[in-house]
Amino acid sequence: MNRLALFALLTASVLPGAEYKLQVSPETTAWGYYWSEAKPVLTIKSGDIVEVQTDEDTDPARLEELGVPPNQITQVMRDMFTKVPKELRRGQQLTGPIFIEGAQPGDVLEVRILKIQMDLPWAINNHGNFMFKDFERGSKIIPLDREKMIAHVAPGVDVPLHPFFGGMGVAPPASMGKISAGPPGIHAGNLDNRDLVEGSTLFIPIHVPGALFEVGDGHAGQGEGEVDRNALETSLTGTFQFIVRHDMHLKWPRGETATHYITMGLDPDLMEAAKKAILETIDFLMTEKKMTHDDAYVLASVGIDFVVTQCVDGTLGIHGMIPKSLFKK
């Protein structure tokens, strides 16, 4: 299916509303948190489309040390480290929050990812001893060929690009306070799900009025698991359509691509994350596909892939990939 056909499919049921552009800047960035009391930087209506710019959050001085040409470091990247006090520069840079009128706790925010653009000719991978104590910490600048859609990872080794946002989320319940953007959760956040590419959709439970959507952690590509702590970290610009779903109620985030439904399980323990993903899958199959409990459990084992989304964010992820081809309708 080509991009135009996929776009038509995704937008068939909801006509586009107004269109906005949200540029990244120190004033439109939430550094490392999701929060019910965060002040919105943009207010929209359900159905509106927003082009959102995000920023790679490595210190420009460090990037130059690693060999990035000064003209490939944007002024916004420099502003983030000169205009934002050091004590506030903690965690991921997230553009937002965006307030969606009519969104209420108990609803679901449908986030249609219409387009993703890579803004830089390079990515950075910060690796180290996260999983193995005998690995020294380090950083590697990886050239991106945006025409051929490959990353030159090592001599003679090219990796296909599939840009996506590692972090897309809403504010958590007010009772949780200001939470770190590092671990994912019921608010979605740092899912690091490589399948949420251009043309896919993310469904997020809403916990506070307006939802307060934030996005960041741009990746040019990533392997399942993200095992050295980072992916191909880079700056992305995404175009999203936001739809408030009063008819939908979820406990955990879910996703959808042209070929699959995606269920998610999140927990500090990977086995518990797997159990949650399986239960979410069974719930989806029973609710949406009208299967019996036992048939849904069997199908989860014989026809659905459960994948390690990421094992590096403290709260770990397993997601179920449910092929749409399994169902006659």
Chosen domain end from 229, 251, 273: 251
Q: Is 313 found in the same domain as 213?
A: no
User: How far apart are the C-alpha atoms of 200 and 70, rounded to whole Å?
Assistant: 34
Res. 4 pLDDT band, cuts 50 70 90:
very low
Q: Is 269 found in the same domain as 216?
A: no
Q: Is 239 found in the same domain as 288?
A: no
Phi, psi of 293 (to 5 degrees): -60, -50
Tell me, what CATH number does 268's domain have?
Answer: 3.10.28.20
For 18-33, what is the mean pLDDT?
97
Per-residue pLDDT, 12: 43
For 49-77, what is the mean pLDDT?
97
- Which of 18-32, 93-107, 120-134 is predicted least confidently? 120-134
Res. 10 pLDDT band, cuts 50 70 90:
very low
Res. 42 pLDDT band, cuts 50 70 90:
very high
Q: Is 303 found in the same domain as 222?
A: no
Give the 3-state secondary structure of residue 190.
strand
Q: Which conformational region is residue 233 in: left (phi greater than 0), alpha (psi within -120 to 50 degrees), or beta?
A: beta
User: How far apart are the C-alpha atoms of 70 and 44, rounded to whole Å?
Assistant: 36
| Mean of the per-residue pLDDT values of the chain | 94
Q: Is 280 found in the same domain as 174?
A: no
For 87-112, what is the mean pLDDT?
96
What type of residue is 284? Answer: F
Q: Is 211 found in the same domain as 78?
A: yes
Count of domains in the chain? 2
Q: Is 136 found in the same domain as 53?
A: yes
Chosen domain end from 205, 229, 251: 251
Q: Is 178 found in the same domain as 105?
A: yes
DSSP letter for 173, please.
Answer: -
Q: Is 59 found in the same domain as 143?
A: yes
Per-residue pLDDT, 1: 37
Chosen domain end from 251, 270, 288: 251
Residue 216 lies in domain: 3-251
Compute the 3-state secondary structure of the chain and give helix, strand, coil in percent, each to the nearest 5: 20, 40, 40
For 142-166, what is the mean pLDDT?
98
pLDDT (tens digit, 9 = 90+) per residue, 281-327? 999 999 999 999 999 999 999 999 999 999 999 999 999 999 999 99
Q: Count Cβ atoms within 10 A of the Cβ of residue 257 and give its class: 0-12 exposed, 13-18 middle, 19 or more buried.
A: middle
User: How far apart are the C-alpha atoms of 35 and 21, rounded to whole Å?
Assistant: 22
Q: Is 195 found in the same domain as 121?
A: yes
Tell me the H-state helices in the chain. Answer: 3-10, 60-65, 75-82, 270-288, 293-302
Q: Is 135 found in the same domain as 271?
A: no
Tell me, what CATH number does 222's domain have?
Answer: 2.60.120.580
Q: Is 167 found in the same domain as 140?
A: yes
